[in-house]
Amino acid sequence: MEQGLRLSHFYAGYPKRKVIEDLNVPQLPRGKITVLLGPNGCGKSTLLRALAGLSKGEGELWLNGEELMTQPFARRAQRVVYLPQTLPAGVHLHVLESIIVAQRASGGLHSAASEAEIMHLLDQLGIAHLAMRYLDQLSGGQKQLVGLAQSLIRRPELLLLDEPLSALDLNYQFHVMDLVRRETQLRNIVTVVVVHDINIALRHADHALMLKNGTLLADGEPVQVITPETLAQVYGVRGRIECCSRGMPQVMIDGLVAESII
């Protein structure tokens, strides 16, 4: 059986506007992290929401050999989890309750995690001490970590994380990417993460997609996708890829290609 996620002639957008045009991606692998890169407004969130069936999408979408687009929404919601940039406000639940509720949303596909397993996950995320705190009493970064726990507990086949690091400090960014990598490998998930930090992408991802104006500009290993040419073409910056003393590739930005916003 075919493994991973395949998109064929995929379109995504809004009633009066197509944002993603004729996207073809032969394979996003299982057990690996794919980063979705591209400038503001290029369509990253629109694509993730359409993959999750939360906004308009057309075309073919194959996940581990099953067509997603023709599946009933309930079945798709069991298999695909989308974590938005911010959690909805005004939810009067404490952290532990919110994770139990999120787990129920996966429709009983997996046996429910025990409270001890949930607490272990919270502990791994460094937020076990917040288990009885109400969501609206948390900081932005703490809410982001709770959102991640809600997503992981559902054990999806396809995990879509929309800028999960945006409110996190440097230490947490590394910690969270390590945890996402471990869970992705352990549960053989197809994980797609939107990040703006190119160096996080180089360091933590196995695969990268780069979008510009709703079309796919590059698809492959991060070092093949993040190059001086694509940095100039997509972000309008002059950049070099250099290896640090530990042999890790890093992007150095020298300036703008032109003194204008692209």
Binding site for ligand ATP (CB under 6 A): 14, 17, 19, 38, 40-46
The torsion angles phi and psi of 220, rounded to 5 degrees, stand at 165, -160
Nearer to ligand ATP, 19 or 102 (CB): 19
Q: Quick one: which of 243, 236, 241 has its CA closest to 208?
A: 241
Residue among 132 and 261 whose Cβ is closer to ligand ATP:
261
CB of 46 to ligand ATP, least distance (A): 3
Cβ within 8 Å of residue 182, ≥6 positions away: none
Minimum CB distance to ligand ATP, residue 225 (Å): 16
The Cα-based distances of 12 to 20, 34, 37, 93, 218 in angstroms read 5, 19, 17, 33, 18
Minimum Å distance from CB 43 to ligand ATP?
4
Would you call 172 helix, strand, or coil by DSSP?
helix
Spell 71-83 as b/e; 16+ CB within 10 A means b. beeeebbbbbbbb
Q: Which is nearer to ligand ATP, 100 or 237 (CB)?
A: 237
What is the smallest separation between the CB atom of 88 and ligand ATP, expressed in angstroms? 16
The C-alpha atoms of residue 179 and residue 202 are separated, in whole angstroms, by: 17
DSSP per position, 84-124 = -SSPPS----BHHHHHHHHHHTTTTSSPPPPHHHHHHHHHH
> In angstroms, what is the minimal distance from the CB of 17 to ligand ATP?
5
The Cβ of residue 170 has, within 10 Å, a number of other Cβ atoms equal to: 8
CB of 55 to ligand ATP, least distance (A): 7
Shortest Cβ 36–ligand ATP spacing (Å): 9
Q: How far apart are CA 121 and CA 127, in angstroms?
A: 9
For residue 23, CA distances in Å to 39, 58, 60, 111, 218 come to 17, 10, 10, 35, 11
